[in-house]
Structure 1
Amino acid sequence: MRLCSSVRVGGAASIVDRPAAQPGTGARIGADVGRPAASLASMAVVAGDAAPSGRPAYPAAWEADVVLADGSTTHVRPILTTDADALQTFHVGQSERSTYLRFFAPLQRLPERDLQRLVTVDHVDRVALVAVASDGSGLEHILGVARYDRVGTDEAEVAFNVADAVQGRGLGSVLLEHLAAAARERGVRRFVAEVLPQNGRMIAVFREAGYEVRQRTEDGIVAVGFDIDPTDRSLAVMADREHRAESLSMRALLEARSVVVVGPGPDADATLHGRQAARALQNLTASGTGVSVHAVGLPADVAADAGVRLYPQVHDVPGPVQLAVVAVPAPEAVPVVRALGTLGVRGVVLLSAGFGETGPDGLELQRTLLRTAHSAGIRVVGPASYGLLSLGEDVTLNASLAAEQPDRGRIGLFCQSAPLAVALLAAVRRRGLGIAELVSSGHRADVSGNDVMQFWGDDDGTDVVGLYLESIGNPRKFSRIARRLALTKPVVVVTAGRSGQVVPPGHAVRPTYAPPRTLEEVLRQAGVIRVDNTHQLLDVAQLLAHQPLPAGRRTAILASSASVAALVAEAASASGLQVSGLVELLPEDADDETVRSTVGRLYADPESDVVLVVSIPTVGDVSSTLPSSVAHAAASTGKATAACLLDLHGITPALTAPGGDGRSWTVPAYSTPEDAALALGRAARYAVWRAGDRGRPVHPTGADTRAARRLVARWLGEPGVGAVLPLDALRTRELLATVGVDVLPSYPVHDADEAVDVARAIGWPVAVKTTVPALRHRADLGGVRLDVADEVELRADVEAVLTLAAAHRGDATDAPLEVQSMAPHGSACVVRSAEDPLFGPIVSFGLGGDAFDLLGDVTYGFPPLTDVDVGELVRSARATPRLFGYRGLPAVDVASLEDLIARVAVLADDLPELRMLEVNPVVVSEHGSVALGARATLAPADRTDATRRLAST
């Protein structure tokens, strides 16, 4: 028997079972990112820790719930020895052709010896992953297997086998992504495989994953090989697969045409769950035609009033059913969801609370619920969801608790909190604002803003996206998806609290040590329009939905008096607009002809891009001619306009007119001039971002992150290394050298004699520095002496610095010095990176000194960065003008500084073990940049933002 995956074993095989405390848990999804260490211990020993009795640890971190190409879900995990029977059943169920392609021979059953070998792995040199699904009884069956066997230091032989019934759903690509990630974690950098020539599908999986595949044919066998380090193309392929899969999974929910409502029982109508189920049933049946509705667990009279058939049990409902709305006590939710899997349900809207927000037991119940749902191919909206609302052209799906629904429009809304969803919908109705969809994720245990943004990216019926986020569980993924969406559709976001780091009960979110400004920078880099509250969210959304994008910031103003015009101009300037265009005054007693001529003159001004119209009469009403004149002028010229007209609010027929393209455009009406100006200002800022060049990912020449990973793996694998490993100066320089950052060596000395010896060895002139933290790098405070040209000067400087240091340290002998070759004069900068548990790698930049240390003049970037991102990172600091010839100073070589930052960013992105790196100072001169000092700290990787996982915002 010849296996596609080599039977050679690079290390001793051991039998590794899932720990007994773990049955049915461990799905690595967005809701688990905040799991406490204690609960991890109850599940499994995480990868990299010592396992009991010296056995290899079960890598629980490799478990993941994933979305397949058709929008369904499945669970991927490492294989267990207890999977032997399931693997045999999987093998026997395969077609003869599939078996032959996998084993190069017809094989009806796996021999017992081979079966045990296939399920026995060490999770290091022999790794196997299985994709599993559950049937209605909760038993798992295998859908696919992927495995590798190490055949060299960093090379492994790989093989895949996917069930015939699920081929074409992208499972092979998903398994490849997971297996490659696990292999990289174990130091494997290249996959090889032997494939029969007729197995073109498997070779296509390798190529379509974005890898550069090399192949040759020998003795009728195709040998293929490819590096598995991520590339721009492979990352783009993974992101595209993620986008399509998650978009389809949301489409199955939002375009569902058959729904079952499951309540707590016919005698529980007075309970909260009973009222929720009854309301959901009434809303579904009252929202129109096109949706078939069934009911389970509701009083007979409620079902009769809604005109639907009532079934005794979920199993009695005739399938298939696409969507379920569930309102039952939390302990009953798991069996209900398991039963729904037999109906082919693709999504569950869980109105019930009582899960993660109640404590550890509730969180464990929530994980069990998700594992049950995902193993059955079901997405979950909730718990504690207000529901979802989809207003299509032909069909209205009101699977929510909203008895009064808004008009149909082209705005997509996402809101986590159910109570705030109530307020948001009420505000939408008051404004006359139409929406396309509303999704309330509740505690967003599964479906999140990320998923819905993926759908809106493909949805032709949505022009603007608005998100109310109570917490963001995966900022890196959110940024990636939001940036992609914002390139085509505006994304308006309000977060709970300015920092966006509020974590309501029930939201499992990792801790963060990043400063409060971090989220603001994440959103800015992603092109998201951030606002302060839901009022502003709708202010901005209604403008973007009903007016064209501003062509610029130049603003023309029409006001009812000079004083009002002054206030409007101030509001416009405060919102980032430029009041350089025409300002027209229209008295409140102006006749119709004057109104029309004034409006025409205003919109004819070639020096303006947007228009603010404010008319607040002190006596009487706004001229009846003004709204119509403004609406027609705005529609015909395409100039984005916002208005503040007495007694008009939101989207009104009075401010609606057809444009030259035949589309009706409406000038939104605001309560105050400040609201109108803010909406226009945010829209103009977004238009500038969207029209700008977003650049290309940085790939500095000579940056070898593979070499960096080898160094880090070796250092962290040394005996006696703790949870955190601070690197000494030599190792820090060695690590930075792998990406082309050279740190000028410095030499520790204790007295003048040692300093003179070093200076003679490295050559004059030199710099002398104290290592006292308060004085380090501070020439202005006397801790650094530069351009020391000879021995006499050096001895004097050493004595002075030691004396100064003694005042801070108490004893001069405890304050060693450093001697270093002189670098060219220039501006001192600080470049840092930090691996945050929530945000992932964060790169920061600032000019050295008080601006950085005291005033917090620091800018942030979030890898992967483009060349434009790096440029903005440097130019966004308030002290940056010093680099460009401020007050007669010579301009420095900013390009060399940007190159250094790019190298640090690439290292931080590719090396999650890099817990902290500081390059300080970086002296930027007219002809280059020199790093004079650096320090770094390593720790085991703990990043959870991979595209291959279900991960929520």
Structure 2
Amino acid sequence: MEAQYPAHWEADVVLSDGGTAHVRPIRPADADRLRTFYSRLSEESIYFRFFGPRPRLSDREVTRFTNVDYVDRVALIATIGTEMVAVIRYDRIDAEEAEVAFLVEDAHQGRGVASVLLEHLAETARENGIARFVADVLPANQKMMGVLKQAGYTARSRFADGVVRMTLDLTPTETSQEVTASREHRAEARSIERLLTPGSVAVVGAGREPGGVGQTVLRNLLGADFTGPVYPVHREARAVAGVRAYPSVTAIDGEVDLAVLAVPADGVIDVVKECAEKGVRGLIVVSSGFGETGPEGRARQDELVRIARAYGLRVVGPNCLGIANTDPAVRLNATLAATVPGRGRVGFFSQSGALGTALLQRVAQRGMGISSFVSAGNRADVSGNDLLQYWEEDAATDVILLYLESLGNPRKFARLARRISRRKPIVVVKSGGTTQGVPIGHAAQVLGLPDTALSALFEQAGAIRVDDLIQQFDVAQLLAHQPLPAGPRVGLVGNSDALALLAVDACVRAGLEPRPPVNLGARAGAAEFGAALASLLPEVDAAVAIYMPPIPGRAAEVAAELLRVAGEGGKPVLATFEGQLGMPAELRVGAEVPDRGSIPSYAAPEEAVRALAHAVRYARWRERPAGVPVEEPGVDAAAARGLVERLLAAPPGEDPSGGAPPDGVPTTETAETAGTAEAPRTAEAAVTAGEAAERVPSEAEVAELLAYYGLTVWRAEVVASPEAAVDAAERLGWPVVLKAADPEAAKRAGTVRLGLAGPDGVRDAFADLLRQLGPDAVLAVQRMVPQPAVPTVVSVVEDPGFGAVVSFGLGEVTARLLRDEAYRLAPLTREDAAELVESPRAAPLLFGEYGYPPVAVEALEELLVRVGRLADDLPEVAGLDLDPVLVGESEVVVLGARAVLRHPGGPRPDGGPRRLS
């Protein structure tokens, strides 16, 4: 039987020099492609692979190499365009070991092809149950040994009979994951650098008619005085805007690094192929008519990206404004915007093309300046995550601004932001908060989490989320030019009582600590402002200067004094300076472009305070330890995985346990063992347990799963009669609780009877609950927690974009109704768990306020860390609810646990080997 082709192994990848390639399994139809590839190899490459000369491959060898079973024999190839440029393969030796070998065409060696192929082959091997690779390598083949050693896996080598045998343990390690992330970072940063620093630009579709899209881009390139040659491409014109034109990209007599495509959508694919033939390295597609127009346009968009990536090109757009780089060595304005701000310290990413023009104008009006700008449009290829990788290392960028309409890989964004925010602030505006929708045409999925969760996850990653673009620029001009505040103490100095009082109110609302404002009077000049600010700064963490003179005239003197004192004080100083907005020339350090130390001005002091509050929270986040997930004792992840796999594989109704549960796991009593009736499934969990993709385990099975992570669920016995309830209470120990067993029924008021200390109380409570809930109600008995406790709820959801997300809230009715919940991505560090506990508005009830005794917060945090570890280890856990979790003065007790298991259908968005979405 012919082996089934594993299409899910296909991937587009970014190579170390920023180009792209396509990785896929080999097929029998690749026979001629393999022969051609082999013919281009050098004698040395062939010698290292086969340990001797082999001028050509025999037909038998070609058949063997291209016909594999994708299980015991697997080969992956890398292609650029239609040509194979590399191949890697393994052949199984025994159940857990396979021999690995690879070949890279000489012209493409040094581009990181082998390392990315090894990542992908290791993933396929693990999928097929292979734990180790072995490779026999000639001692002179240092390149192959380097690839194997530098992969980050545990490696061993021994020398015998003139050959080095290397063995790689394919279990992912912290080192291998760091290696993968580092290579991804360098490759994606390089791919963006190639776009933003081209040596030459072609504008395809630059017509002679003024106002056309192509001619607009061309004139903006020329107007910015781009430092390289610019080539208009027009099928008929000899010159456009006074510059010689060419009939096609391939007709250009010089090299082309970047091409701007401004042709009708149905002609873009042909131009992309021309660009590939010419050796162009990047594309900006400003043309519309793609995903935003509907299914036909989306198919055209997907084809555009497929072809571009296949030939090694990254794509900005389509339907975008373009890109700009203000570096004097480049001076690139490949956008439709005539106004591009001057040189600055801010990198700016915008998905919207239409909005981008207005945004650039706003930045220019404020006098801020940018380092570079990218409008991604439909973000079919290049995304905000790519730009984060670039700006992280860009010495010209101190602050990163993101205007996001969608998130293509939210989990990757969170990973990158958490790392980058330690060095550079990221200020985000995310639209669609009320709907969480995705604009038509964007290559992204709708987020399943509420907007409050998204804000919490931004906060966890250190990204500063603001409500609108005005706030984004307000915060950016502070972060780009002033130091971070060390705390919340704010000093206010000015010449207006009214404005100072507004600033005080704004500080209190924002959680800052204002000092009594210093009012200098309407006639105060430079000396008074300088002296007051100098005496104030040592006592505060930041200062706001308000200069609104009734009679203008001495602004330059006051500004110079403010700059002098602020520079000597080393603390952030903001101003409301004559109502100006942005970076006034009088308050700049530097001539034309504001440099570090320049003082930002705001139209009103409340706006200055609002920006300062964001900076204070960000500075506080940076001061916290980064934290790393810790290994909790008593965790058996392998056993937990085995249980989940058995549960998902078992037919409905069959016991999948396969053995005794771990010590301490309660076994839910059934009607046969305790004279009780089985509880019905809840409405939300009434997914057919027999479906291959999803299963709702029993409470006992969930308890067993949790026990593998050191978490105990108190046993509850479902009872069908008053006498069965009394018997259960005798077994569990008095006092007990009698409650509705159905979680949906439990949401109704009065469905729990507490503190039942004897048989008569249990019988009376049983009759009372049946009268309230109906004669068919199913009830359960559970031992009562012996101390006062605060009810809480811990949940996990496997989000398609973010992966495993842990939520926490209090179990009080009011807190539930108000959705007073906090969220964090799994796995959780100790710091994450502490923030999760502190974040709900009702959290003071856990810390001894409002008459409640202090509870075991540290034990609650440990529970959250363990739940986070479970969620991160097991993507099959699509949902998990621990409800209620009672937090007492000395212990935490889990009284109820429900879960939904589902086959994930592939690695998480940020999991597995490197690949472009």
CA-CA distance at 1:610 after TM superposition: 0.8
Contact 2:209 2:215 in 1 (8 A): no
Residue 907 (structure 1) aligns with:
870
TM-score, length of structure 1 as denominator length: 0.86
What CA distance in whole angstroms lies between the structure 2 residues aligned with 1:817 and 1:446?
Answer: 54
Q: Deviations over 1:186-226 (max 9, x none)?
A: 45444444444444433433332222223445555544444
Q: Deviations over 1:327-369 (max 9, x none)?
A: 1111211121111112221110111011111222211111111
Residue 743 (structure 1) aligns with:
713
CA-CA distance at 1:453 after TM superposition: 1.3
Structure 1 counterpart of 2:519, from 585, 603, 609 = 585
Contact 2:827 2:865 in 1 (8 A): no
Identity of aligned residues (%): 44
Contact 1:15 1:120 in 2 (8 A): no
Residue 127 (structure 1) aligns with:
74
More deviation in 846-855 or 866-875? 846-855
What CA distance in whole angstroms lies between the structure 1 residues aligned with 2:291 and 2:891?
Answer: 54
Q: Give the secondary structure class of the aligned counterpart of 1:467.
A: strand
Q: Deviations over 1:243-289 (max 9, x none)?
A: 1111111111111121111117x6xx5598xx111111122222225
Contact 1:769 1:777 in 2 (8 A): no
Q: Does 2:291 correspond to 1:291? A: no
Residue 683 (structure 1) aligns with:
615
What CA distance in whole angstroms lies between the structure 2 residues aligned with 1:86 and 1:798?
Answer: 80
Residue 351 (structure 2) aligns with:
416
Q: Does 2:590 correspond to 1:626? A: no
Residue 32 (structure 1) aligns with:
none
Contact 1:148 1:156 in 2 (8 A): yes
Residue 219 (structure 2) aligns with:
282
What CA distance in whole angstroms lies between the structure 1 residues aligned with 2:66 and 2:599?
Answer: 66
What CA distance in whole angstroms lies between the structure 2 residues aligned with 1:602 and 1:831?
Answer: 46
Q: Deviations over 1:279-318 (max 9, x none)?
A: 1112222222521111211663652x343x3222221113
CA-CA distance at 1:433 after TM superposition: 1.6
What CA distance in whole angstroms lies between the structure 2 residues aligned with 1:775 and 1:346?
Answer: 62
Gaps of 5+ in 1: 1-13, 17-55, 135-139
Structure 1 residues 403 and 616, CA gap change in structure 2 (3 angstroms): same
Contact 1:277 1:298 in 2 (8 A): no
Structure 2 counterpart of 1:944, from 898, 909, 915 = 909
What CA distance in whole angstroms lies between the structure 2 residues aligned with 1:912 and 1:546?
Answer: 43
Structure 1 residues 667 and 364, CA gap change in structure 2 (3 angstroms): same
Q: Does 2:697 correspond to 1:727? A: yes
Q: Does 2:459 correspond to 1:524? A: yes
What CA distance in whole angstroms lies between the structure 2 residues aligned with 1:744 and 1:216?
Answer: 53
CA-CA distance at 1:842 after TM superposition: 0.9
Contact 1:324 1:347 in 2 (8 A): yes
What CA distance in whole angstroms lies between the structure 1 residues aligned with 2:381 and 2:720?
Answer: 59
Residue 642 (structure 1) aligns with:
574
Residue 807 (structure 1) aligns with:
772
Q: Deviations over 1:680-715 (max 9, x none)?
A: 111222122112211112332343434433333333
What CA distance in whole angstroms lies between the structure 2 residues aligned with 1:429 and 1:528?
Answer: 24
Residue 671 (structure 2) aligns with:
none
CA-CA distance at 1:896 after TM superposition: 2.6
CA-CA distance at 1:825 after TM superposition: 5.6
Q: Does 2:7 correspond to 1:82? A: no
CA-CA distance at 1:240 after TM superposition: 1.1
Q: Does 2:94 correspond to 1:168? A: no
Q: Deviations over 1:41-75 (max 9, x none)?
A: xxxxxxxxxxxxxxx4x433332211111111111
Contact 2:265 2:289 in 1 (8 A): yes
Structure 1 counterpart of 2:879, from 916, 929, 953 = 916
What CA distance in whole angstroms lies between the structure 2 residues aligned with 1:898 and 1:104?
Answer: 58
Q: Give the secondary structure class of the aligned counterpart of 2:539.
A: coil
Give runs of aligned pairs for residues 384-423 of structure 1, distance below 5 A.
Answer: 384-423=319-358
More deviation in 254-263 or 399-408? 399-408
Structure 1 counterpart of 2:536, from 578, 602, 606 = 602
Residue 503 (structure 1) aligns with:
438
Contact 1:767 1:822 in 2 (8 A): no
Residue 500 (structure 2) aligns with:
565
CA-CA distance at 1:439 after TM superposition: 0.7
Residue 548 (structure 2) aligns with:
616
Give runs of aligned pairs for residues 108-127 of structure 1, distance below 5 A.
Answer: 108-127=55-74
CA-CA distance at 1:491 after TM superposition: 0.9
Where relative contact order (Cα < 8 A, 6+ residues apart) is larger, the structure is 1
Structure 2 counterpart of 1:575, from 510, 518, 528 = 510
CA-CA distance at 1:599 after TM superposition: 3.8
| Structure 1 residue identity aligned to 2:386 | D
CA-CA distance at 1:755 after TM superposition: 3.5
Residue 894 (structure 2) aligns with:
931
TM-score, length of structure 2 as denominator length: 0.89
Contact 2:530 2:565 in 1 (8 A): no
Count of aligned pairs between the two proteins: 875
More deviation in 416-425 or 826-835? 826-835
What CA distance in whole angstroms lies between the structure 2 residues aligned with 1:234 and 1:499?
Answer: 40
What CA distance in whole angstroms lies between the structure 2 residues aligned with 1:565 and 1:484?
Answer: 38
Structure 1 residues 783 and 702, CA gap change in structure 2 (3 angstroms): same
Q: Does 2:752 correspond to 1:783? A: yes
What CA distance in whole angstroms lies between the structure 1 residues aligned with 2:72 and 2:715?
Answer: 39
Q: Give the secondary structure class of the aligned counterpart of 2:87.
A: strand
What CA distance in whole angstroms lies between the structure 1 residues aligned with 2:897 and 2:157?
Answer: 44
CA-CA distance at 1:421 after TM superposition: 0.8
CA-CA distance at 1:569 after TM superposition: 0.6
Residue 677 (structure 2) aligns with:
none
Q: Give the secondary structure class of the aligned counterpart of 1:908.
A: helix
Give runs of aligned pairs for residues 661-700 of structure 1, distance below 5 A.
Answer: 665-700=597-632
Give runs of aligned pairs for residues 235-250 of structure 1, distance below 5 A.
Answer: 235-250=177-192
| Structure 2 residue identity aligned to 1:627 | A
| Structure 1 residue identity aligned to 2:14 | V
Residue 442 (structure 1) aligns with:
377
Structure 2 counterpart of 1:214, from 129, 141, 156 = 156
Structure 2 counterpart of 1:360, from 295, 298, 305 = 295
Structure 1 residues 152 and 752, CA gap change in structure 2 (3 angstroms): farther
Give runs of aligned pairs for residues 47-66 of structure 1, distance below 5 A.
Answer: 56=4, 58-66=5-13
Gaps of 5+ in 2: 652-689
| Structure 1 residue identity aligned to 2:178 | A
Q: Deviations over 1:645-664 (max 9, x none)?
A: 225332122123589xx976
Structure 2 counterpart of 1:755, from 725, 748, 761 = 725
Contact 2:534 2:569 in 1 (8 A): no
CA-CA distance at 1:162 after TM superposition: 2.6
Residue 147 (structure 1) aligns with:
89
Give runs of aligned pairs for residues 812-891 of structure 1, distance below 5 A.
Answer: 812=776, 814-819=777-782, 826-886=789-849, 889-891=852-854
CA-CA distance at 1:869 after TM superposition: 1.3
| Structure 2 residue identity aligned to 1:180 | A
CA-CA distance at 1:852 after TM superposition: 4.3
Residue 544 (structure 1) aligns with:
479
| Structure 2 residue identity aligned to 1:205 | V
Structure 1 residues 722 and 515, CA gap change in structure 2 (3 angstroms): same
Q: Give the secondary structure class of the aligned counterpart of 1:921.
A: strand
| Structure 1 residue identity aligned to 2:261 | V
What CA distance in whole angstroms lies between the structure 2 residues aligned with 1:490 and 1:476?
Answer: 18
